[in-house]
Structure 1
Amino acid sequence: VELQLGKMPIHDVIAGAVGLAIGLILANLLGYSFAKIPVVGDYIPVIFSIVFGYLGITITIKKRRELTGLFDFVPRFMKDFAKMREMRAAPDAAPEESAKAAPTADAHAYKLLDTSVIIDGRIADICDTGFIEGTLLIPVFVLEELQHIADSADALKRTRGRRGLDILQRIRQSTKVKVEITNVDFDDISEVDSKLVRLGQQVGGKIITNDYNLNKVAQLRGVEVLNINELSNAVKPVVIPGETMRVTIVKSGKEPGQGVAYLDDGTMIVVENGNRHMNESITVEVTSALQTAAGRMIFAKPAH
């Protein structure tokens, strides 16, 4: 029991203790009512204590976030009450001062970065635009993984790791987003992605990633995810059938006669009978567009 408690987060231990207390109180109330039954009356309180104590622990730990959410109105009520008192105490306050006192978005809403999204580099450009609100939280175990990759004997991994460290330094020097480093670690978990999900649960933050598997695992465990691949697909220009564009055929497609071109944002264009125009810049007419998990794909044919 001591070993298991040592592995559990403190908020789970507190929730379990509260649930155990509630379960034992209910067991005592019900057990007293059944204690006078002949023969089995002496055993019923013990059974109730075991069953209700166990249910109290498991239910409060699993439903901790939902249960604490029921009491979120208390700090909001106290905050609104304090604001009303301030307004009554200073009724002649200037409109500008009232605007300054108005609540803004939570500055401590944490966004957690995983290793892959840091190495990817696009997150730095997104931060520069000012679209990221709140605080970027960089766990120490992510930094250690980046350092491990940067020190790898493999040249490609070493380059990726150093790029990630450079991107992280650029983000920290940005004036449009606040960055914090946390030393929180989970010794009972070996995988960095699993640690990141656990930290997201602990701080109530969102994970920014471009890792498809981490995206799914985090969502299954109740952690919100911001996937920059989905963001990139969402802001790509929309094309409609009949629209024309100028492209350069760079390689052959999977089907006979097909040619493949790419837009500046990386969108693949499959051109019917485009193979005959290899390495040529031609005007094509869009016939259809397909949205896939990997991104948007456009089908076209040479314009006549």
Structure 2
Amino acid sequence: MGLRWAWLVLKILLFVVCSVGGYFIADQMEGLKHFSWAPWAGLMVGIFFALLALSVEKIIKHLPLKIIFGGTIGLVSGLFVAKLIGFGFAGLQNNTLSVSIYVVLTCIFGYIGMVLGSIKIEEIRIPNWSWLMRGMNRSNQVIKILDTSVIIDGRIADIVETGFMGGVLVIPEFVLQELQHIADSPDPTRRVRGRRGLDIIKRLQQENMVEIRIDRQDFDNLNEVDAKLVALALRLNAKIVTNDYNLSKVAEVQGIRVLNINQLANALKPVVLPGEILRLQILKEGKEHGQGIAYLEDGTMVVVENASRHLGKEVDVSVTSILQTTAGRLIFTTLKDGDHSRQQH
């Protein structure tokens, strides 16, 4: 909250400085001294430039540092080229014409340089650039990009509420578009999932536990949302928060750190050791003959050998082995000696 007030004070100060500065500049200009309205026009021009500065800030804060750095270098280079070419027109007797030519050259080469610099900086392979970006992220806040699956899942909001998820959570605009497309689907199930995802985003924004940022960058050369997520993570040097197994593998191959909510849920499940005795209710038959299926409170499936005759009943079982799969944890058990002997009789 304190940071928001600081930004508000800075914005008010910007308007005050620009408006007062515009007033006094117009008041001191010789050509405007005869017009009583000139200082007030200068004040309005100052307010206009303050609004322009805030608009530029909104655009810049969504751009990666690499693009800003490249655009700045390109702009300076373009202005330098315009200055060199402008020397050729310095000898013109018509000052108005020479100034006009210089202004036009400055606009053209400044624009070309800025655009080329911001685009072509991606082709420059600086060996320590990634190290620099990682260092900047550490000094500021870690950026985490949310994909569509983890937003629809909804558990990310609960994790944020507990305070275990810090840094900046980035929601790409193309993910928002995908959620809107799902919410507008004629399929009722998909429509509910899409609307749930939009509700989760609204909930995250209202919690104020972490900074939620909507990133408007897009990659026109890529069609798949997963490919765009990977490209954005590489550009921002960010982590990806997802439930998608395939996206996790693709991102990890390209050196991107992935935070998988399903893996977190599996890691938080209670530890069960071989030989431990559990009391469970057999809910259904297993795939193999004689097997029974039960579940722990956290939803972990338990396979009980020779328990198909105990459907709907509670039995004591002994853990024999635990299998960790990509889908979760699977526990194999056998009936405790007493229950097994009663079954035999």
Larger Rg: 2
- Answer yes or no: is 1:263 the counterpart of 2:305: no
SS at match of 2:180: helix
Q: CA deviation at 1:108?
A: 2.9
- Answer yes or no: is 1:138 the counterpart of 2:199: no
Alignment CA distance shift 1:228-1:152 (3 Å): same
The match for 2:320 among 287, 293, 296 is 287
TM-score by length of 1: 0.67
More helix by share: 2
Distance in 1 (alpha carbons) for counterparts of 2:144 and 2:321: 37
The match for 2:234 among 201, 204, 215 is 201
Alignment CA distance shift 1:199-1:158 (3 Å): same
Corresponding residue for residue 333 of structure 2 = 300
Alignment CA distance shift 1:70-1:226 (3 Å): closer
User: How many residues are paired up?
Assistant: 226
- Answer yes or no: is 1:274 the counterpart of 2:307: yes
Q: Counterparts of 1:79-158 in structure 2 under 5 Å?
A: 106-158=139-191
State the AA in 1 paired with 2:330. M
Alignment CA distance shift 1:172-1:258 (3 Å): same
The match for 2:129 among 68, 71, 77 is 68
Distance in 1 (alpha carbons) for counterparts of 2:206 and 2:313: 43
Distance in 2 (alpha carbons) for counterparts of 1:107 and 1:10: 16
Alignment CA distance shift 1:116-1:271 (3 Å): same
SS at match of 1:247: strand
| Aligned residues of 1:113 and 1:138 also touching (Cα < 8 A) | yes
Corresponding residue for residue 218 of structure 2 = 185
Distance in 2 (alpha carbons) for counterparts of 1:232 and 1:291: 13
SS at match of 2:128: helix
Q: CA deviation at 1:292?
A: 1.2
* Stretch deviating more after TM superposition (233-242 or 277-286): 277-286
State the AA in 1 paired with 2:187. D
* Stretch deviating more after TM superposition (243-252 or 154-163): 243-252
Corresponding residue for residue 167 of structure 1 = 200
Identity over aligned pairs, percent: 53
Distance in 2 (alpha carbons) for counterparts of 1:171 and 1:107: 21
Alignment CA distance shift 1:277-1:190 (3 Å): same
State the AA in 2 paired with 1:67. N
| Aligned residues of 1:247 and 1:283 also touching (Cα < 8 A) | yes
Alignment CA distance shift 1:219-1:62 (3 Å): farther
Distance in 2 (alpha carbons) for counterparts of 1:232 and 1:72: 30
Distance in 1 (alpha carbons) for counterparts of 2:132 and 2:332: 53
Deviation string 1:83-106 (CA, Å, 9 cap, x unpaired) is xxxxxxxxxxxxxxxxxxxxx964
Alignment CA distance shift 1:63-1:223 (3 Å): farther
Corresponding residue for residue 343 of structure 2 = none
Q: CA deviation at 1:257?
A: 0.3
Alignment CA distance shift 1:160-1:106 (3 Å): farther
The match for 1:214 among 247, 255, 259 is 247
| Aligned residues of 2:157 and 2:203 also touching (Cα < 8 A) | yes
SS at match of 1:233: helix
Deviation string 1:242-291 (CA, Å, 9 cap, x unpaired) is 21122221211111000111112221100011211112222221111111
Distance in 2 (alpha carbons) for counterparts of 1:105 and 1:301: 50
Q: CA deviation at 1:113?
A: 0.3
| Aligned residues of 2:130 and 2:237 also touching (Cα < 8 A) | no
Distance in 1 (alpha carbons) for counterparts of 2:124 and 2:329: 39
User: Gaps (5+ residues) in structure 2?
Assistant: 1-64, 75-121, 339-345
Alignment CA distance shift 1:162-1:71 (3 Å): closer
Corresponding residue for residue 77 of structure 2 = none
